């Protein structure tokens, strides 16, 4: 084992330790709107995942879709009205 491998192992160990400390500071009960937990679970690749090849291809192309980039169409009443309705 060369010095580079040992240094890389040391870096990975330190990274795992920092991640464990970060996770330990969070509350034990997690909620469905926990963005950090959601991001961590989405990053994991699971063996036998039928969509794994697609996800890897999507990541390599750099294609991402956020909720803020989705364009919402106005409802039917907004399209047909001549004047925009005032927000109440």
Q: What is the pLDDT of residues 19-47, one digit of tens each?
A: 889 888 888 888 888 888 888 888 888 88
Is position 15 within any domain? yes
CB 63 within 8 A of CB 70: no
Number of domains present in the structure of the chain: 1
CB atoms within 10 A of CB 85: 9
User: Which region holds residue 48: left if phi is over 0, alpha if psi is between -120 and 50, else beta?
Assistant: left
> What is the C-alpha separation between 62 and 80, in angstroms, rounded?
38
Is position 42 within any domain? no
The residue segments making up the domain with residue 20 are 1-25
pTM here is 0.42
Is position 56 within any domain? no
Is position 7 within any domain? yes
CB 52 within 8 A of CB 46: yes
- 10 falls in which pLDDT band (50, 70, 90)? very high
Is position 34 within any domain? no
Q: Which two tokens stand for residue 40?
A: 């961590």
Is position 8 within any domain? yes
């Amino acid at each position: 084992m060369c010095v580079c491998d040992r240094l890389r192992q040391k870096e990975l160990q330190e990274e795992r330790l920092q991640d464990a400390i970060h996770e330990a500071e969070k509350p034990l009960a997690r909620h469905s709107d926990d963005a950090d937990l959601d991001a961590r679970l989405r990053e994991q690749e699971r063996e036998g995942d039928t969509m794994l090849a697609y996800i890897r291809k999507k990541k390599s192309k750099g294609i991402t879709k956020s909720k803020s980039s989705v364009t919402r169409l106005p409802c039917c009443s907004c399209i047909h009205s001549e004047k925009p309705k005032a927000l109440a």
